[in-house]
Amino acid sequence: MSSIEFEGVRKVYDGDVVAVEDFDLEIEGGEFLTLVGPSGSGKSTLLRMVAGLEEITGGTISIGGERVNKLPPRHRDIAMVFQSYALYPHLSVRENMAFGLKRSTDLPDDEIYDRVEEAAELMGIPELLDDRPKQLSGGQQQRVATGRAIVRQPAVFLFDEPLSNLDAKLRKHMRTELQRIQQELETTAIYVTHDQEEAMTMSDRIAILNHGELQQVGTPREVYNRPRNLFVGQFIGSPSMNVFDIEYEPTDDGGRLVGDIDLPIDSERAERIEAAGFNRMKLGVRPEDISVSETRTEGTISAGVDIVEPLGARDLLYFDIGEDDGIVNEGIPDPDEEGEAAPDVEVEERKAFIEPEAIPQDTAEVFLDLNLDQAHLFDADSGLSLAYADERREVAPSA
Ligand SMILES: Nc1ncnc2c1ncn2[C@@H]1O[C@H](COP(=O)(O)OP(=O)(O)OP(=O)(O)O)[C@@H](O)[C@H]1O
């Protein structure tokens, strides 16, 4: 099982487009690691550098302990599965799956075809071996493309959004299939996706990228429960975290968070904020950590009810918090008016998962309980989470 190591990896296109910056990551042999991040954050570039399809501007990539910076793709023991399956239309499925090995090795034909049969078994497509690609559905083509990668018995699988052309149901099914196969073959895998549900369900670890820089790497649970910074907090989780602009104010028995909302906090939390030196902050509360309160207490906020969407097991409440809710929507011209494009203003939508029918119909205002034990505090300037500021202090040498 081959490990993959990135050390200070950097990629600059055309002399000045920095696509990846100072990227360090160690992927264990047999691990399934997913790269996520917004469009243009450098995911494909990283994958292509591992494959050898893109030159590395700086740093080192090693596979199985061997530095591969200058190694041509065919010597890297890697198979890549893309979003487009790129099957040869004039060849049968069997020939498509055998093609790579026939070209790149001296293996005897019967061994190659044995491997094709095995891979077809594993992918559940032995009955398709004599078909042509155009006779296959999207899901079947996906299986053939993956089967073709398996035939090569590579040390590393690279997946670049392999499921994005499939419908939602098939995508879910193929997720489990790919995971099962990767585990059975004990191959190391790097998987790129836009779909964070995919990332959460398939991966041993998730690496989150923004502007070519690694923001955090951890198990799905770690990055969800302990986001290192505001970016990760907002990127992981759907619908995304509600963010409130707040400042800290000390009081006699702890402190208060004031700004978009006004809530008391206990002395333990107040001490941690003071020790971290945070003042202007963002409070992140996930939709699942908000509930409807029967009564107004000091620990609740009042909110306007915008929409309640019944989702079955629970309802999704869209709410607002009045004048100071940070929602920038003044003066947005009507996008339908000719010649007037809507400006690039972020309109925040606040959301909470609530018990079904927790709000009677036609209710305009509710009291909401924010579960502060599950909430995240981030420094407004650096974006760093308070949880990690605590850690930083613990490891800092005492003065
Ligand atoms: N061949 C290229 N030449 C110049 N710039 C490029 C090239 N390929 C990518 N880039 C730039 O590098 C940055 C990272 O692109 P990359 O495709 O790696 O991002 P990504 O995270 O995979 O995006 P997406 O999710 O949209 O596929 C972007 O700014 C992109 O415009």
Do residues 44 and 84 touch, judged by C-beta distance below 8 A?
A: no
Q: Give residue-wise pLDDT tens across range 49-90.
A: 999 999 999 999 999 999 999 999 988 999 988 877 788 999
Mutate to test the pocket of ligand 1, among 17, 18, 55, 158 (most ligand atoms within 8 A of CB): 17
CA quadruple 368, 371, 374, 376: dihedral positive or negative?
positive
Find the 3 Cα to ligand 1 centroid distance in Å. 25
Residues β-bridged to residue 78? 156
> Residue 86: what pLDDT?
82
Residue nearest to ligand 1 atom 12, measured at CA? 19
Structure tokens at 299: 């620990």
Which backbone phi and psi does 59 adopt, to 5 degrees?
Answer: 85, -170
Mean pLDDT rounded to a whole number for the chain: 88
Residue nearest to ligand 1 atom 24, measured at CA? 39
Q: Give residue-wise pLDDT tens across range 190-226.
A: 999 988 889 999 999 999 999 999 999 999 999 999 9
- Calculated CA dihedral for residues 134, 87, 97, 199, nearest 10 degrees: -110
Residue nearest to ligand 1 atom 7, measured at CA? 13
> Residue 124: what pLDDT?
86
Who wins on pLDDT, 176 or 206? 206
> Residue 397: what pLDDT?
53
Residue nearest to ligand 1 atom 3, measured at CA? 13
> Residue 85: what pLDDT?
76
% of the chain beyond a pLDDT of 90: 66
Q: Give residue-wise pLDDT tens across range 295-304.
A: 888 889 999 9
Greatest mean pLDDT range, 12-26, 140-154, 159-173, 178-192: 12-26
Find the 237 Cα to ligand 1 centroid distance in Å. 24
Per-residue pLDDT for 119 more than 80? yes
> Residue 348: what pLDDT?
64
Residue nearest to ligand 1 atom 30, measured at CA? 40
Reduced 3-state DSSP string for 26-89: EECCCCEEEEECCCCCCHHHHHHHHHCCCCCCEEEEEECCEECCCCCHHHCCEEEECCCCCCCC
Q: What average pLDDT does range 347-359 have in this prediction? A: 87
CA count, 13 A, side-chain hemisphere, 110: 0
Which ipTM did the prediction report? 0.98
Mutate to test the pocket of ligand 1, among 35, 43, 196 (most ligand atoms within 8 A of CB): 43
Q: Which atom of ligand 1 is nearest to the CA of 48?
A: 18
Find the 42 Cα to ligand 1 centroid distance in Å. 6
Find the 11 Cα to ligand 1 centroid distance in Å. 10
Cβ neighbours, 10 Å, residue 46 = 28
Do residues 226 and 265 touch, judged by C-beta distance below 8 A?
A: no
- Give, as one character, the DSSP assignment of residue 229: B
Q: Which atom of ligand 1 is nearest to the CA of 212?
A: 14
> Residue 398: what pLDDT?
47
Q: What average pLDDT does range 129-140 have in this prediction? A: 91
Distance, in Å, from the CA atom of 378 to the CA atom of 297, rounded to the nearest integer, reads 25
Residue nearest to ligand 1 atom 1, measured at CA? 13
Please state whether 153 falls in left (phi above 0), alpha (psi between -120 and 50) or beta. Answer: left
> Residue 325: what pLDDT?
43
| 393 — pLDDT class (breaks 50, 70, 90) | low
Nearest to 212 by CA among 6, 35, 18, 8: 18
Strand order in the sheet with 4-13: 17-27, 4-13, 58-63, 66-67
Q: Give residue-wise pLDDT tens across range 254-313.
A: 899 999 999 999 999 999 999 999 999 999 999 999 999 988 888 899 999 999 999 999
Residue nearest to ligand 1 atom 6, measured at CA? 13
Find the 72 Cα to ligand 1 centroid distance in Å. 21
* 133-to-77, 80, 93, 136, 170 alpha-carbon distances in Å: 26, 19, 7, 5, 18
Per-residue pLDDT for 160 more than 70? yes
Find the 33 Cα to ligand 1 centroid distance in Å. 20
Find the 192 Cα to ligand 1 centroid distance in Å. 13
> Residue 139: what pLDDT?
84
> Residue 396: what pLDDT?
54
Q: Give residue-wise pLDDT tens across range 319-336.
A: 999 754 444 444 444 444
Find the 15 Cα to ligand 1 centroid distance in Å. 14
Pocket lined around ligand 1, Cβ cut-off 6 Å: 13-14, 17, 19, 37, 39-45
Residue nearest to ligand 1 atom 11, measured at CA? 19
